[in-house]
Amino acid sequence: MEGNVNLSVENGIGTIEFSHPQSNSLPGEVLHLLADTIKKAGNDHGIQVIVLKSAGDRAFCAGASFEELTSIKTEEEGKAFFSGFANVINAARKCPKFIIGRVQGKAVGGGVGMAAAADYCFATQFASVKLSELAIGIGPFVVGPAVERKMGASAFGQLTINATEWMGAEWAREKGLYNGVYDTAQEMDEAIMTLAKKLAGSNPEAMAGLKEALWKGTEHWDELLTERATMSGKLVLSEFTTQAIAKFKTS
């Protein structure tokens, strides 16, 4: 399998790192591993706080794997693939530990959804965002609830409708996706470690209670995101989307 997910633990801080050679894109197997690893970290009594990151320098996550999108032949296969994103978001939502996002570079589609699913998110000046799904005929249905919850309906609508334009890291911070933007990855990592160490020494029961309170009102997302995955699974088979993905792959 291309791509991987690793979990390391040090001083109560669990670091989950995902990787893929194509700008950290997310095929189904990586999504499955990522959801399982978040659940595992959430259940590990030796972990008090989680840092979610990707490998490399300038690409946080390229979103859905185009290779896998083009291999989908039935609505059930489409639903299963997009359910992978739903499972990651729901795993992060239900995890009893705070998740700190580390976004070192550009985030597209599902990558924006993952940043939004973090409880607190740091970024560098290179961490531009884009929801490009409409440009290939799909729409960000699965990640939409997480992005809208974090940024509000107006900013989500702007990203959704203007699907080909990158929005800068400072814009994303102003809209609430990022909690801090730094000039360099080193400065960002120092800030992440400062917060992570504080949280690692905090009361686990209090943090779990706060996490539940912060996500109040999302209890229906298991069903909602599955419905959204079904919608995307149908759209990915449309003639428009098939042609658009083929065009993207050759451009």
**SS3 call for 107:** strand
Whole-prediction pTM? 0.95
β-partners of residue 13 are 10, 49
Bin 202: left if φ > 0, else alpha if -120 < ψ < 50, else beta. beta
| Among candidate residues 216, 244, 24, 1, the one with its CA nearest the CA of residue 134 | 244
The domain ranges of the chain are: 4-184
β-partners of residue 10 are 13
- Tens-binned pLDDT, residue by residue, of the chain (251 aa): 689 999 999 999 999 999 999 999 999 999 999 999 999 999 999 999 999 999 999 899 999 988 898 899 999 999 999 999 999 999 999 999 999 999 999 999 999 999 999 999 999 999 999 999 999 999 999 999 999 999 999 999 999 999 999 999 999 999 999 999 999 999 999 999 999 999 999 999 999 999 999 999 999 999 999 999 999 999 999 999 988 888 876 76
Q: DSSP string of 95-132?
A: -SSEEEEEE-SEEETHHHHHHHHSSEEEEETT--EE--
Between CA 225 and CA 142 the distance in angstroms is: 5
Full strand arrangement of the beta sheet holding 106-108: 59-61, 106-108, 129-130
CB 16 within 8 A of CB 52: yes
β-partners of residue 167 are 129
| Among candidate residues 29, 22, 51, 56, the one with its CA nearest the CA of residue 38 | 51
> Which is the CATH superfamily of the domain at 4-184?
2-enoyl-CoA Hydratase; Chain A, domain 1 (3.90.226.10)
Residue 25's identity, in one-letter code, is: S
Residue found by looking up tokens 């990855």 in the block = 185
Residues 6+ apart with CB under 8 A from 165: 130
Q: Half-sphere exposure of residue 139, counting CA atoms within 13 Å on the CB side? A: 14
- The pairing of beta strand 13-19 with beta strand 4-10: antiparallel
CA end-to-end distance (rounded Å), the chain: 25
Residue 164's identity, in one-letter code, is: T
